[in-house]
Amino acid sequence: MEEFKRSDDKVLSGMTSTALFEYVHSLEDTVASLSNNVANLTEQIRIMNERTYGRKTETAAVLDMPQLDLGLNEAESLADEKEPEPVLEEAAPKKKKAKGKKATDLQKITNHRDEYIELTDEELNKKYGEGKWKHLPYEIINKLEHLPASFEAVTYHIGVYARNDDQTIVRAPHPTELFPKSIATPSLVASILYAKYVKAIPLYRLEQAYQQNDVSISRAVMANWVIKGSQEYLIYLYDAMKKAMVKQSLIHADETPFEVIKDGRPAGSKSYMWVYRTNAKIPGPKAVLYDYCATRGHQNPERFLEGYKGTVVCDGYGAYHQLEREHPESYKVAGCWVHLKRKFASVVKAAGPDAKPSMAEMAVVRISSIYRVEHEIEDLPAEEKLKKRQERVKPIVDNFFEWIRTRRHLVDSASATGQGFTYALNQEKYLRAFLDDPDIPLDNNAAEIAIRPFTIGRKNWVLIDTPRGAAASAVIYSIVETAKANNLRLYQYLVYLLEELPKYINSTHHQVPEKLLPWSDELPKELYMK
């Protein structure tokens, strides 16, 4: 070691001052480069550790969204048109089940029964003496009992009549028939849809639950009913909802990948579920629509949004920007500030509470200040809100982007913070869009929340056989989530739809009346949550 030191000293002593100066600078550059690499690697490790071991806050409970137990396409994978329809004697319970008891202290529950628990006169006379007692006001105790699922076998006796002279036959009207020669009724099919798409109960478990009630309906038959219900009836309600959605001035959009096994492409090929959602704060229908697509190309939102003229709120995905470039007369794209904020927040979180102040932290603070002012003015009338945005929010936004531009050279572009800087500058046009329109929100949270039923359960339904079931499930999820957004009782609404839709849909007519839409003022009052 000493020998090497003497050798270095000799080399250095022989250098001119200029050469020595250049040599020192090269060493400084090397050290700076290595330090930068170490910092980037440390940042990446912290972020990876946080993602792997950090506390997960976006849980299903917090989001109040259903997790998907089996695949989007469970119905498709199980459906078998050759599966014989069960006859009533096979499917129905052998005997009528006794009705359960239910007491409640909840005024919203319609079923209510009063029970009176009394002492006998004999008991009271023994306690107090003959006639030496009186009845005081009752002590009230409220309880809530559960009524298990029940089934009722119904045999319809259709009146048949004939005129005496010529024997002309007339029959009384038949009950609603969803599917020809099937025992399926609106309430039965609605219960299957509710169990699978609201409560996330896979069909095999539903089959087992029915068997506990002496009802034998195979999961294959249930799957057939799910597919038929979607393709023959619910798809037309979906189309009507879509027509109403594209008339709105603003739509949120997002997408998430998953895999379809048998779609004719190589293994591992990604398919995408797109979600479109109206903004609840803007007058008009509250709608959430899902769209299954085999690709992530811009042609998918272009097809879905055909005829639309307005603003699309989204993340930084280029497919939406391409729509605006190719159809500037129809589309305006608005960016998502929370998407940008997450890029910096992940760095801050990974660094820990004891870390020195950083560029990422300063970026988070600046973006948070935009949200703080927005929160203060969000409920103002549109005109006043726009004025306040120009007066109070725009200077903060201007300052943020100026701060990014003047400090970009201080941050390594390859680091997570540097990537956040680059994203901000690339998306500046779209991130500024909200400043000129009071209806445009700061972020795309509405769509991100709507897509989470799929992202949360993605690992549970990664194995999907064919596109057919995924498309049918997208239709049913659209109806369920839109009904939820409009405060409807989901099971009751599904029953109502399956009772009403066959009246309007047949081989020649597919027009769904507006009174059946989830936001219609003409829906029966009993369909709404209290």
Amino acid 384: pLDDT: 97
Q: What CA–CA distance (Å, rounded) separates 248 from 284?
A: 7
Instruction: Give which of 347, 435, 297 is closest to 42, Cα–Cα.
Output: 347
Of 69-78, 242-251, 465-474, where does the model show the most confidence?
A: 242-251
CB 517 within 8 A of CB 241: yes
Q: Pick 442 or 76 by higher pLDDT.
A: 442
Amino acid 170: pLDDT: 83
Amino acid 5: pLDDT: 44
Q: Pick 225 or 166 by higher pLDDT.
A: 225
Collect all residues with Cβ–Cβ distance below 8 Å to 441 and sequence separation of at least 6: 279, 281, 313, 334, 434
Question: Cα torsion at 453, 457, 463, 464 (round to 10°)?
Answer: -20
Amino acid 103: pLDDT: 34
- Residue pointed to by tokens 């497919």: 319
Q: Is the pLDDT of residue 150 over 50?
A: yes
For residue 509, what is the DSSP state?
Answer: -
* Contacts for 143-146: CB closer than 8 Å, 24+ residues apart: 143/103, 143/104, 143/105, 144/102, 144/103, 144/104, 144/105, 144/106, 144/109, 145/100, 145/101, 145/102, 145/103, 145/104, 146/100, 146/102
Domains of the chain, residue spans: 71-88+184-335+458-530, 101-147, 337-443
Please give the structure tokens belonging to residue 375: 């929160």
For residue 464, what is the DSSP state?
Answer: B
Amino acid 90: pLDDT: 55
Q: Is the pLDDT of residue 511 over 50?
A: yes
Q: Is the pLDDT of residue 254 over 50?
A: yes
Buried b (16+ CB within 10 A) or exposed e, 336-366: bbbbbbebbbbbbbbbeeeeeebbbbbbbeb
270-278 and 250-259 beta bridge pairing: antiparallel
CB 498 within 8 A of CB 237: no
The overall average pLDDT reported for the chain is: 80
Reported as a single tens digit per residue, the pLDDT across 188-228 is: 999 999 998 888 888 888 999 999 888 899 988 998 899 89
CB 162 within 8 A of CB 169: yes
The helix (run of H) or strand (run of E) holding residue 271 is strand 270-278
Q: Pick 394 or 33 by higher pLDDT.
A: 394
Collect all residues with Cβ–Cβ distance below 8 Å to 198 and sequence separation of at least 6: 66, 480, 490, 491
Q: Is the pLDDT of residue 66 over 70?
A: no
Lowest-pLDDT range of 158-162, 266-270, 290-294: 266-270
Reported as a single tens digit per residue, the pLDDT across 11-48 is: 445 555 555 545 455 555 555 555 556 656 666 666 66
Amino acid 190: pLDDT: 95
Reported as a single tens digit per residue, the pLDDT across 443-464 is: 988 877 776 655 544 444 433 4
**Taking CA 435 as the corner, what is the angle to CA 400 and CA 313, rounded to the nearest 5 degrees?**
100
Instruction: Give which of 312, 102, 97, 106 is closest to 214, Cα–Cα.
Output: 97
Q: What CA–CA distance (Å, rounded) separates 85 from 91?
A: 10
**Taking CA 54 as the corner, what is the angle to CA 38 and CA 60, rounded to the nearest 5 degrees?**
145
Radius of gyration of the chain (CA): 33
The secondary structure of 31-92 as a DSSP string is HHHHHHHHHHHHHHHHHHHHHHHSPP---HHHHT-PPPSS-TTHHHHH--TTSPPPPHHHHS
Q: Is the pLDDT of residue 260 over 60?
A: no
Q: What is the pTM (predicted TM-score) of this model?
A: 0.75
Collect all residues with Cβ–Cβ distance below 8 Å to 281 and sequence separation of at least 6: 439, 441
SS3 423: helix
Please give the structure tokens belonging to residue 444: 């795309």
Q: What CA–CA distance (Å, rounded) separates 144 from 152?
A: 24
Amino acid 100: pLDDT: 41
Reported as a single tens digit per residue, the pLDDT across 307-348 is: 999 999 998 888 899 999 999 999 999 999 999 999 999 998
